[in-house]
C-alpha cells in the first residue's frame, strides 16, 4: 500500500464511536468532518467535530447507510480518508469500493477481505485453509438441504445468516419438529437485515464461551493484543466484555491467539480486526466463528490492558505505514471489564426506550473510563442502536476490576428513560460472574 498522509478525516458514523474517533484524530493533528443525520445534527459528536455535513433525515437508510451521499459528502469536504466506525457501512465492500473510486482512503481492510469476511461461508472456508478448527455444519441453500445438514449435525443446532452479524438471522433449534418454523424466521430476519435470506447450519455447543482475539495487521505482518471474553449475551448480542478471557488454561488461550494470527497472516489482513471463537466450556476446545473486519464496540478493554490506541493504529495503517509494534512489545497488564449501558428496559424484554436524557451522571476516578456521547438534555433518537455509553474499568487483577466495576455502577445515574444499568448491577454481584469464566447461558440463570 502506498503511503498517503491523512490530513482530513471523514467519520461516517454517530454516537460514542464517532466521538471516540474524533478524539484520537484530533490528538494526531487530523481535522475531522462528521457526517450526521438531521436527528444527530445537535449531538455531542457534531459539536466536537471540526466540520459537520448533514447526510439526510433520521432513518439510517437515508443517511448513514446511503453510500452515494456519504461518499459525496466526504469528497465534497476535501477529506483524504473515511473512518466507518462499527455497524452501518463499516464492513460494506461496496462502500469501500465507492470511496476508493472517489480517491478517498478507507480506514479498514482491503476490499477483497471485506467481501470474504462479509460472507460467513467464505470466511469459514478461508479459516479451514488457514488451519483453524470450525464447527460441524455448512451451507444449506434449500429447505431439503437444511434438513439434511440438520440430520448430519444433530440437535441442538444453530441456523445462522450467511451475511449476518449482531445476532440477526440466527435461531437455536432444539428439535427437528421446530426446524421449519425457525428456518422461516431466520430467513425473514436475514432478508430484512442484510438483503440476503441465505442461512447455514452449525452445531450448537451446550456450554459455550464466546472468546475473541484482537488483531492488528498491515498487509504484511500481523499480531494480537490478547483475548476478550464476551460470553454474557442476550439474543446473541453482547452485554459485558472483559480482557483477558478469565479462567482459561494458558495453553487454550495461547492456542486461540496463535490461531487468530495464523488467519490474519493467511489473509494478509490490514487494520484492526477481531477473530471470534466458540470455546467449549467443558474441555476448552475452540472453533472459529467469524472475523469482524472493523473496530469492535468492546475494543476499549484491549486498549486498557495494553495501553495501545487501536483507532490510532487504524489511521496509521490506512495512511500506508507499516506496524511499528511487534508481538514482543505487547505486554498486557491487569484486567479490564466493559459494560454497555443501553436505553432499553430489561424488564420488558429489552424494549428500546428512546427519548430525552434528563440527567446523566457518569462515574469517574482512577481506573474508570467512560465512552459516551450522552449528557443531560441529550436525545436518544428512535432510529438507531440504543447504546448510551460504555463503562470500562481497569484493575491490577480481575478481582480489583470487578470491585471497581461495582463502584462505578453504583455511581452511575441516568434519568429520563429505563436503561440496562440495573441489570449490570445484578450481574456484578452474581457469584458466578465474580468467580469468572461464565458461559453464554449465564443470563438465563441470573436471579431476578
- Cβ–Cβ < 8 Å for 325, 141: no
Phi, psi of 133 (to 5 degrees): -75, 140
User: What are 107's three cell numbers?
Assistant: 480506514
What is the rounded CA–CA span in Å between residue 46 and residue 133?
Answer: 44
1 has pLDDT over 70: no
69 has pLDDT over 90: yes
pTM here? 0.90
Mean pLDDT computed over every residue of the chain = 95
What is the rounded CA–CA span in Å between residue 34 and residue 23?
Answer: 12
Closest CA to 316 of 306, 325, 307: 325
pLDDT in tens, 344-354: 999 999 999 99
Closest CA to 49 of 29, 26, 66, 28: 26
Radius of gyration, CA atoms only, the chain: 21
User: What are 234's three cell numbers?
Assistant: 442476550
Catalytic positions are 294
Lowest-confidence segment of 92-96, 156-160, 250-254, 299-303 by average pLDDT: 156-160
Q: What average pLDDT score do residues 82-91 get?
A: 97
Name the β-bridge partners of 311.
none
108 has pLDDT over 90: yes
190 has pLDDT over 80: yes
On the question of a cis peptide bond just before residue 142, with omega within 30 degrees of 0, the verdict is no
Per-residue confidence (pLDDT) for residue 235, from 0 to 100: 79
Residues whose CB is less than 8 angstroms from the CB of residue 107 and which lie 6 or more positions away in sequence, other chains included: 9, 81, 82, 83, 84, 271, 314, 315, 318
Q: pLDDT band for position 422 (50/70/90)?
A: very high
Q: pLDDT band for position 25 (50/70/90)?
A: very high
Taking the chain, what is the end-to-end CA distance rounded to the nearest angstrom? 53
What is the rounded CA–CA span in Å between residue 251 and residue 175?
Answer: 35
Q: What average pLDDT score do residues 16-39 get?
A: 98
Q: What domains does the chain contain, in order, with CATH numbers?
A: 8-107 (3.40.50.20), 136-203 (3.30.1490.20), 208-445 (3.30.470.20)
2 has pLDDT over 70: no
What is the rounded CA–CA span in Å between residue 16 and residue 22?
Answer: 10
Closest CA to 40 of 282, 365, 375, 384: 384
The burial class, CB within 10 Å (0-12 / 13-18 / 19+), for 142 is exposed
Q: What average pLDDT score do residues 16-25 get?
A: 98
139 has pLDDT over 80: no
420 has pLDDT over 90: yes
Lowest-confidence segment of 168-172, 229-233, 317-321 by average pLDDT: 168-172
On the question of a cis peptide bond just before residue 156, with omega within 30 degrees of 0, the verdict is yes
Classify each residue of 388-412 as buried b or exposed e, where b means 16 or more C-beta atoms within 10 Å of its C-beta. Answer: bbbbbbbbeebeebbebbbebbeeb
pLDDT in tens, 219-260: 999 999 999 999 999 877 899 999 999 999 999 999 999 999
Question: What is the per-residue DSSP string for 371-412?
Answer: EE---TT-EE-TTS--EEEEEEEEESSHHHHHHHHHHHHHH-
Closest CA to 29 of 312, 303, 324: 312
Phi, psi of 86 (to 5 degrees): -125, 160
- Cβ–Cβ < 8 Å for 121, 139: yes
What is the rounded CA–CA span in Å between residue 51 and residue 178?
Answer: 52
- CA–centroid distance for 42 within its chain: 26
- CA–centroid distance for 160 within its chain: 17
Amino acid at each position: 500500500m502506498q503511503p498517503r498522509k491523512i490530513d482530513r478525516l471523514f467519520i461516517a458514523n454517530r454516537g460514542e464511536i464517532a466521538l471516540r474517533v474524533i478524539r484520537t484524530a484530533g490528538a494526531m493533528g487530523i481535522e475531522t468532518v462528521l457526517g450526521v443525520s438531521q436527528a444527530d445534527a445537535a449531538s455531542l459528536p457534531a459539536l466536537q467535530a471540526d466540520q459537520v455535513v448533514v447526510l439526510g433525515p433520521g432513518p439510517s437508510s437515508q443517511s448513514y447507510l446511503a453510500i452515494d451521499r456519504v461518499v459525496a459528502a466526504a469528497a465534497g469536504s476535501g477529506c483524504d480518508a473515511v473512518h466507518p466506525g462499527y455497524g452501518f457501512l463499516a464492513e460494506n465492500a461496496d462502500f469501500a469500493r465507492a470511496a476508493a473510486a472517489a480517491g478517498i482512503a478507507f480506514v479498514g481492510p482491503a476490499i477483497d477481505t471485506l467481501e470474504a469476511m462479509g460472507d460467513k461461508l467464505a470466511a469459514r472456508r478461508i479459516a479451514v485453509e488457514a488451519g483453524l478448527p470450525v464447527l460441524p455444519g455448512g451451507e444449506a441453500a434449500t429447505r431439503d438441504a437444511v434438513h439434511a445438514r440438520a440430520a448430519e449435525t444433530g440437535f441442538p443446532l444453530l441456523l445462522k445468516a450467511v451475511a449476518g452479524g449482531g445476532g440477526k438471522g440466527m435461531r437455536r433449534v432444539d428439535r427437528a419438529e421446530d426446524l421449519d418454523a425457525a428456518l422461516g424466521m431466520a430467513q425473514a430476519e436475514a432478508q430484512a437485515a442484510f438483503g440476503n435470506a441465505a442461512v447455514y447450519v452449525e452445531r450448537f455447543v451446550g456450554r459455550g464461551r464466546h472468546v475473541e482475539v484482537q488483531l492488528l495487521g498491515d498487509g504484511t505482518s500481523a499480531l494480537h493484543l490478547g483475548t476478550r471474553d464476551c460470553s454474557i449475551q442476550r439474543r446473541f448480542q453482547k452485554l459485558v466484555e472483559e480482557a483477558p478471557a478469565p479462567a482459561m488454561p494458558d495453553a487454550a488461550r495461547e492456542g486461540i491467539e496463535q490461531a487468530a494470527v495464523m488467519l490474519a497472516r493467511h489473509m494478509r489482513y490490514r487494520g484492526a480486526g477481531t477473530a471470534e471463537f466458540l470455546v467449549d466450556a467443558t474441555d476448552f476446545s475452540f472453533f472459529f466463528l467469524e472475523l469482524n473486519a472493523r473496530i469492535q464496540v468492546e475494543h476499549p478493554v484491549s486498549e486498557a490492558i495494553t495501553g495501545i490506541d487501536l483507532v490510532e493504529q487504524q489511521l496509521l495503517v490506512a495512511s500506508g505505514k507499516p506496524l511499528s509494534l511487534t508481538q514482543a512489545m505487547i505486554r498486557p497488564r491487569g484486567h479490564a471489564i466493559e459494560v454497555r449501558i443501553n436505553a432499553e428496559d430489561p424488564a420488558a424484554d429489552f424494549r428500546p426506550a428512546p427519548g430525552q436524557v434528563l440527567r446523566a451522571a457518569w462515574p469517574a476516578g482512577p481506573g474508570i473510563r467512560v465512552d459516551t456521547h450522552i449528557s443531560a438534555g441529550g436525545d436518544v433518537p428512535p432510529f438507531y442502536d440504543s447504546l448510551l455509553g460504555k463503562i470500562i474499568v481497569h484493575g491490577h487483577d480481575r478481582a480489583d476490576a470487578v470491585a471497581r466495576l461495582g463502584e462505578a455502577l453504583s455511581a452511575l445515574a441516568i434519568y429520563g428513560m429505563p436503561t440496562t444499568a440495573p441489570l449490570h448491577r445484578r450481574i456484578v454481584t452474581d457469584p458466578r460472574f465474580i468467580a469468572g469464566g461464565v458461559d453464554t447461558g449465564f443470563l438465563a440463570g441470573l436471579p431476578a
